[in-house]
Amino acid sequence: MKRRNTPSKQAVLSVITKAGKAMSQDAIEEEIAIDINRATIYRVLNRFCDDGVLHKVMAEDGKQYFALCETYDTKAATHQHFHFKCTKCDTVECLPNQVNFSIPDGYLVESVNCVLTGVCKNCS
């Protein structure tokens, strides 16, 4: 299943890149220039996640937010940094802070989902 280059792919990636923050499907659809079907946007996003281009964050509001993978976490395949979701502007951003944790013996951690919710700098 070789990936193909399509307008949808380009448009979605462009919007997220320009935004410089994590975005939900509906935010992307709003922001995007061309008309792309909802299901297609989700499929594009999930493919990007599979390919290590984006990573997915589940916020407290039960919605998925998608953000660019930085080069450093692409390699390690880990995205163990905090995210911040502002309740005023609904923005979700990746924080530079690494999540560090220690778990009891015998536990295997496969993914990390850490979201801080509150009010961002712009909104306070």
Partner DNA sequence: ATTACTAATGCGATTTATTTGCAATAATTT
Partner DNA sequence: AAATTATTGCAAATAAATCGCATTAGTAAT
CB of 17 to Mn ion, least distance (A): 14
Q: From the list a second copy, Mn ion, Zn ion, none, pick the one residue 113 interacts with, judged by a Cβ distance below 5 to 8 Å according to partner type.
A: a second copy
- Footprint (CB under 8 A) of a second copy, residues 9-48: none
Q: Quick one: which of 33, 35, 39, 62 contacts Mn ion (CB under 5 A)?
A: 62
Q: Residue by residue, what is the 3-state secondary structure of 1-45?
A: CCCCCCHHHHHHHHHHHHHCCEECHHHHHHHCCCCCCHHHHHHHH
Q: Which residues of the chain form contacts with Mn ion (CB under 5 A)?
A: 62, 67, 94
